[in-house]
Each structure stands twice: as structure tokens, then as C-alpha cells.
């Protein structure tokens, strides 16, 4: 595939993520911060985000595994995940965090478990799409480098 | 719109404080895009350490209040040491919600320090809580940004930094609500 076609494909792919509500405008802001002096910025942010999100989701999982859940601890993790999601523009994941926040505020363990399922779901979807996005990005960079 | 004082050859140095790795990366990029020199740390105590104030010093600093705390004058040795250790920080931008020392705690400590009370402090938060915002502004924060921080927010920093450069200009500008930056340049 040629460079122009790849770029269009990437653009359309990101657009579809906007339309599905998976990403919001904040992600565009992040893309805008990538330039020739920081050509891997988007990839770096996505990588940081995914590592962080996975760590937090695992921690939440672990916390909810205890007989007596430490809800204030849980709250701290949700806050972190919601913050990261917001910062990268992961709209649906951010909304899923609000669910967990609510259930945690209510000290509702069952509700928390359900909310966590949704979070895990949204995260897995997002990660798959990010992987596809990065694959396109890298192909573009490769072609651009070869063309020089 | 010419500037009377042209100090653009020296970059402004911003100290960014945020416990979130992603947010640190973002704020760093936003600041560098705007041509600021950036030091990013992950906690209030690291910020104080960087400035050369440890948690105890920030309170002891009140001893030095009788001496000149103006950055221009070579006053006490201790003050000068603090300035040097601070490596010329022109602005501090900090997250509000951090474990241990919050951004608000950090703001208070900075404002209590004779060496650093004149450094503008900006607070960032993911939560839009008016009482929180007002409290920060009333207690000395120059601005309060809602996260995610945008480039347009970072552009609001420059006037505060220019004010710091020309300290002679009267700066009675504090309000307790969201303010409009009037151009003095």
C-alpha cells in the first residue's frame, strides 16, 4: 500500500474510534503534539497508558478478591485509571471508571465487580484498536523513512 | 506589542509536579512545545527537594523573613543557596490530587518560603470543584487548570512568567474567580 493510502487508512481508523466514542478529542490533542522532533510521541503515550492501565486493573482485581474490600484504596486506583483515561482521550473507558467509582462510593462489592468487568472489556477493546493504530503508524514511518 | 524587556534568549524553567506518569509526559511535552525548559517530578516532596527546601525547611524558612527575599539582591547565604539549588525555577505547575503531599499542601509550603513565595504556582486537577478552585486561588495559586491540560492553557502561563521577569511592575492582579489575562507586554 502506498503512503497516501496508509495515511488515509489511519485517519479513517482514528475517525471511526471517535465515532464509536472509544476516543474523544483529547486524543487529537495528543496526535497534534507529535512532530518531527517527537516522531514517536503517540506510541510512547499509548505504551505508557496501556502499561499503567493494566497495572491498575490488576490491582483493582486483586483488591476485589479480598473478603473485606478496602474501598478507599479502590477509590484511589479508580481515580488514577479515570485520570489516565481522560488524559489519553479514552472516552468509553473513562465512563466505565465512573461506574466503578459509583459502586465503590456505595460500598457495593457486587456492583464493583460488574463495573470492573465493563472496564476490562472496554480496556481490551481499546488496546486492540491501539495495537492496530500503532501498526499503521509504524508502517507509515517505515515507508516515510524508506522514501528519504 | 513590543516588549520593553526582551529576555527571550533565556528560557523560562518550569517545575512540573504530578504523580501520574502519563500526565507528567503530557505536561512536559506541552511545556516544551511552548519553548519552556522543564523539570518534571512525581511528588510534592521531590519538588521541595529540587528547590532545595526539605519538608522541615519550608517552615523554618520563616526565620529568614526579616532578611531580603528578593531574588535580585544577594541577601543571605541561605536564601542564595536556595535560589541556586532551585536552579532558576520560574513557575511551578502541580497536580492537586497526589498521595502524601497534595498540590495545595505544596502551594502553601511554597508561599510560606521566603525564597520561593514569589514563584508563580499553577494547580491542575481532573475534578471541577469550585470550592477547591477558589481555595487554591485565594491561597496564592495564579491559575487553576482543569485536566486534561491543553496547549491553550499552557499559553496562559507566559504572562505570569513575564511578570516575574520584570518585578518592578506592580502586580496587584489577584482575583478569586477565573481570570482573564490582560496583556501587559
Which grid cell is B146? 482543569
Task: Report pLDDT for A70.
Answer: 95
- Selected residue with higher pLDDT from B173 and A55: A55
Asked if residue A18 is part of any domain, the answer here is: no
- Selected residue with higher pLDDT from B171 and A50: A50
CATH number at A57 reads: 1.20.120.160
Residues of chain A found within 8 Å of residue B33, distances taken between Cβ atoms: 33
Q: How many domains does chain A have?
A: 1
Residues of chain A found within 8 Å of residue B25, distances taken between Cβ atoms: 44-45, 48
Tell me: the pLDDT tens digits for B35-84?
999 999 999 999 999 999 866 554 544 444 444 444 444 444 455 544 45
Of the candidates B140, B136, B98, the one whose C-alpha atom is nearest the C-alpha of residue B119 is B140
Pairing relationship of beta strands B121-125 and B37-41 according to DSSP bridges: unpaired
Asked if residue A33 is part of any domain, the answer here is: no
pLDDT grade for B1, boundaries at 50, 70 and 90: low
Task: Report pLDDT for B163.
Answer: 75
ipTM: 0.93
Is the CB of B21 less than 8 angstroms away from the CB of A45?
A: no
Residues of chain B found within 8 Å of residue A87, distances taken between Cβ atoms: 20, 22-23, 26, 147-148
Task: Report pLDDT for B87.
Answer: 64
Asked if residue A100 is part of any domain, the answer here is: yes
Tell me: the pLDDT tens digits for A79-114?
999 999 999 999 999 999 999 999 999 999 999 999
Asked if residue A7 is part of any domain, the answer here is: yes
Asked if residue A26 is part of any domain, the answer here is: no
Segments forming the whole domain that contains residue A102: 3-12+41-146
- Selected residue with higher pLDDT from B52 and B185: B52
- B31 → chain A, closest CA residue: A33
Asked if residue A21 is part of any domain, the answer here is: no
Tell me: the pLDDT tens digits for B137-154?
999 999 999 999 999 999
Task: Report pLDDT for B63.
Answer: 40
**Å between A7 CA and nearest CA of chain B:** 24
Asked if residue A101 is part of any domain, the answer here is: yes
Amino acid at each position: 500500500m502506498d503512503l497516501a493510502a496508509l495515511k488515509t487508512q489511519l485517519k479513517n481508523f482514528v475517525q471511526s474510534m471517535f465515532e464509536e466514542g472509544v476516543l474523544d478529542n483529547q486524543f487529537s490533542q495528543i496526535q497534534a503534539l507529535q512532530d518531527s522532533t517527537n516522531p514517536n510521541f503517540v506510541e510512547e503515550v499509548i505504551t505508557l497508558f496501556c502499561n499503567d492501565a493494566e497495572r491498575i486493573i490488576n490491582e483493582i482485581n486483586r483488591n476485589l478478591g479480598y473478603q473485606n474490600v478496602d474501598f478507599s484504596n479502590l477509590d484511589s486506583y479508580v481515580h488514577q485509571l479515570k485520570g489516565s483515561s481522560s488524559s489519553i482521550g479514552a472516552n468509553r473507558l473513562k465512563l466505565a471508571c465512573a461506574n466503578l467509582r459509583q459502586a465503590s462510593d456505595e460500598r457495593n462489592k457486587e456492583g464493583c465487580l460488574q463495573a470492573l468487568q465493563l472496564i476490562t472489556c472496554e480496556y481490551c477493546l481499546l488496546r486492540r484498536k491501539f495495537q492496530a493504530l500503532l501498526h499503521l503508524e509504524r508502517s507509515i514511518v517505515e515507508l516515510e523513512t524508506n522514501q528519504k | 506589542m513590543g516588549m520593553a524587556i526582551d529576555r527571550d534568549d533565556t528560557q523560562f524553567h518550569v517545575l512540573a509536579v504530578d504523580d501520574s506518569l502519563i500526565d507528567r509526559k503530557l505536561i512536559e511535552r506541552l511545556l516544551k512545545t511552548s519553548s519552556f525548559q522543564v523539570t518534571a517530578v512525581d511528588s510534592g516532596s521531590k519538588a521541595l527537594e529540587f528547590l532545595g527546601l526539605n519538608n522541615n525547611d519550608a517552615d523554618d524558612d520563616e526565620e529568614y523573613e526579616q532578611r531580603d527575599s528578593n531574588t535580585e539582591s544577594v541577601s543571605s547565604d541561605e536564601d542564595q543557596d536556595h535560589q541556586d539549588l532551585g536552579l532558576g525555577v520560574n513557575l511551578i505547575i502541580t497536580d492537586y490530587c497526589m498521595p502524601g503531599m497534595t498540590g495545595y499542601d505544596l502551594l502553601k509550603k511554597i508561599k510560606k518560603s521566603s525564597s520561593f513565595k514569589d514563584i508563580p504556582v499553577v494547580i491542575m486537577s481532573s475534578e471541577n470543584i469550585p470550592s477547591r478552585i477558589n481555595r487554591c486561588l485565594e491561597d496564592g495559586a495564579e491559575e487553576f487548570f482543569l485536566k486534561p491540560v491543553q496547549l491553550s492553557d499552557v499559553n496562559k502561563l507566559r504572562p505570569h512568567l513575564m511578570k516575574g521577569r520584570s518585578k518592578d511592575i506592580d502586580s496587584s492582579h489577584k482575583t478569586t474567580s477565573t481570570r482573564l489575562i490582560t496583556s501587559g507586554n
